[in-house]
Amino acid sequence: MRFWLMKSEPSEMSIDGLAAMPEQTVAWDGIRNYQARNFMRNQMQVGDLVLFYHSSCPEPGIVGIAEVSRLAYPDETQFDSSSHYFDPKATRENPRWFNVDIRFNRKTRLLSLKELRSYPELTSMRILQKGNRLSITPVDPSEWKFIEAKL
* Greatest alpha-carbon span in the chain: 47
Q: What pLDDT is attached to residue 136? A: 98
DSSP states along 115-151 = HHHH-GGGTT-GGGSTT---SEEEE-HHHHHHHHHH-
pLDDT tens, the chain, 151 aa long: 999 999 999 999 999 999 999 999 999 999 999 999 999 999 999 999 999 999 999 999 999 999 999 999 999 999 999 999 999 999 999 999 999 999 999 999 999 999 999 999 999 999 999 988 899 999 999 999 999 999 9
Are the C-beta atoms of residues 71 and 45 closer than 8 Å to each other? yes
* CATH number of the domain within which 39 lies: 3.10.590.10
Write down the pTM of the prediction: 0.96
Alpha-carbon separation of residue 126 from 6, 105, 116, 133, 142 (angstroms): 12, 23, 11, 9, 13
**Of residues 42, 23, 6, the one with CA closest to residue 103:** 23
Count of the separate structural domains present in the chain? 1
**Residue 101: domain span:** 3-150
Q: Exposed, middle or buried: residue 47 (CB in 10 Å: 0-12, 13-18, 19+)?
A: exposed
